[in-house]
Amino acid sequence: MGRCRCQKPPRFSALRLAQKDALPVTSSAHDAASATPRRFTAQGPLKGRIRVPGDKSISHRSIMLGALAVGETKVTGLLEGEDVLATAAAMRAMGATVERTGEGAWTVSGVGVGALLQPQGPLDMGNSGTSTRLLMGLVASHPINVSFTGDDSLSKRPMNRVINPLSQMGASFEASEGGRLPLIVRGASPAVPITYTLPVASAQVKSAILLAGLNTPGKTTVIEPVPTRDHSERMLKGFGAELEVETQPDGTRIITLTGEAELKPQTIEVPGDPSSAAFFLVAALITPGSDVVIENVGLNPTRAGIVDVLIAMGGQIEKLDERDVGGEPVADLHVRHSALKGIEVDPAVAPSMIDEFPALFVAASVAEGVTTTSGLDELRVKESDRLAVMASALTAAGATLEEREDGLVITGTGGKPLPGTRAGIEIATHLDHRIAMSMAVAGVASQDGVLVDDTRPIATSFPVFESMLEGLVA
C-alpha cells in the first residue's frame, strides 16, 4: 500500500434555499413539493474541455477586502453561487457598493477599514459557513452590532472556535445554544490585538482573526501548527496590508498583521476552484474511456492536495501551461481514465484538501485495494457530518467501507463500477452540496445509477455542475 504526503443580483434572502428538517443519512422520504431528486446514471465516457467556476475562497475574500478598500476593486471570474452572493449581500448591507457588470464580472466600491455601517437587519448567510465565520471577524473590530442567521444546516454548525479568539479581542456575542446561529456580534472599538495559536487547523478561524486585526491597533498574530490554505495572507498582502509570515523548521507558521490598515483597491482574476474541479477529476478517472481537460484550475499548494493524492493513487493527471494568475499558481489539468490503487492518505495532507474528501471517497470505492484516511475530525462539523453521511451513502451505493472516528477505510472494487442504489433508496444530502455532487459522480460510474434526494444544495457553490456534467457525456 502506498502512502501519499503530499449583474447586480437580488438580495440573498430571495435566493435562499428552502429550509428542511434533517433527514436520516439514507432515506426514501423528502419534501416532494420542493426537493429536486435526480438519479445520476452511467452515460459513457466523459470527453471534452471545461472551465469550472471561480474559486469560492478567493471569491469571498475579494468581495470582503474590496469592501474594506477605498476605491473600486474589479473582479473577474467570480463564483456566482449562493454562498458568495450571501457575502456580497452582507457587504452591501454594511455600506459597500457591490455590483455585477457581466458574467463573473463584479465591481466593489469600498468604505475603508473601520467604516463598516450598522446593517438595518440580520445578515442571512444561507448555507455559507465561510461567509459567517469571516464576517464575524470583520465585524468584531467595528463599532457595530450584527445579527447573523442561516438555513437549518448552517444553524447546526458550531461557531465557538471563532467566538473564542474574537472574544479575547474584545468582541461580545449572544449565540444560540452551543455557539450556533442565530447569533449577534457586538464589535469592539478599539479591539485588542492578540497572539492566538490555532487548536485545530482551520483557515476560516485564522482568516476571521486576521480580518478582525485589520481594524485593531497593534500586531495581531496567528500561530498555526499545521499550515492551512493561505488565500487570506496572499490577498491581504495584495490589498496592501502589512503582513508577515514566518515558517518555523517544524512547519509551524506565524502570521503577524499590523492593524489599522489602509487597503488599496485591486483588479482580481479569480482562478478556477480546485474543489469544483475535483468532482470532474474523479469522474473522469473512474469512468472508462474518459479524456477531459479542465482549464484554469487554481493549484495553490495549500489547496491542491486532491491532485497529488489522486496522482499517488495512479491517476493520469497532467498539468498543462502552468502559470501564475494574480499571485496564485494555475494550470490546465488533462485527466484520463485510470486504474486507481488504494493508498494510506497522510493526515498531514488533510488541510490542503479537506473539502475534497467526499469526492476522494468515491474514487477510493472503485480503486484496487484499501484506501485509509485519518485525521478528518473536521469533516464531522461541515454542512453535514461528512464522514457519517458519505459512509452511509457509499454503502447504499454498494461500496465496502469502515467508518472510524476520524476517517474512512474503503476497500475498492478493483475498477468495477459500484452497483448503485436500489429502487426506493435515496441518498440524503442534508443540504450539503458536496454530498450531492460526490454521489452524482458515483452515479455516473455505477451499474444502476445513484438517486440523490435533492440537488438544490449544489447551487450554493456550483450552479452549473449538472449542465457541465451533461455536456461532457453528450
Residue ranges at the known binding site:
56-57, 61, 129, 157, 202, 204, 355, 382, 386, 434
What is the number of other CB atoms lying within 10 angstroms of the CB of residue 111?
A: 17
The distance of Cα 18 from the centroid of its chain, to the nearest Å, equals 21
Residues in binding site for phosphoenolpyruvate = 56, 129, 157, 204, 386, 434
Cα separation, 449 vs 440, in Å, equals: 9
Angle at 294 between CA 291 and CA 295, to 5 degrees: 140
- Measuring CA to CA, how many Å separate 22 from each of 132, 154, 199, 380, 424? 21, 12, 29, 15, 19
Contact present, 236 and 255 (Cβ < 8 Å): no
The residue whose grid cell reads 429550509 is: 19
The residues assigned a catalytic role are 355
Instruction: Return the amino acid letter for 213.
Output: G
Dihedral in degrees, nearest 10, Cα atoms 266, 231, 438, 400: 170
CA-CA distances (angstroms) from residue 462 to 232, 243, 307, 353, 456?
22, 32, 19, 17, 10
Give the 3-state secondary structure of residue 148: strand
**Residue positions in the annotated binding site for 3-phosphoshikimate?**
56-57, 61, 202, 204, 355, 382
306 contact partners, CB below 8 Å, separation of at least 6: 274, 278, 281, 353, 356, 359, 360
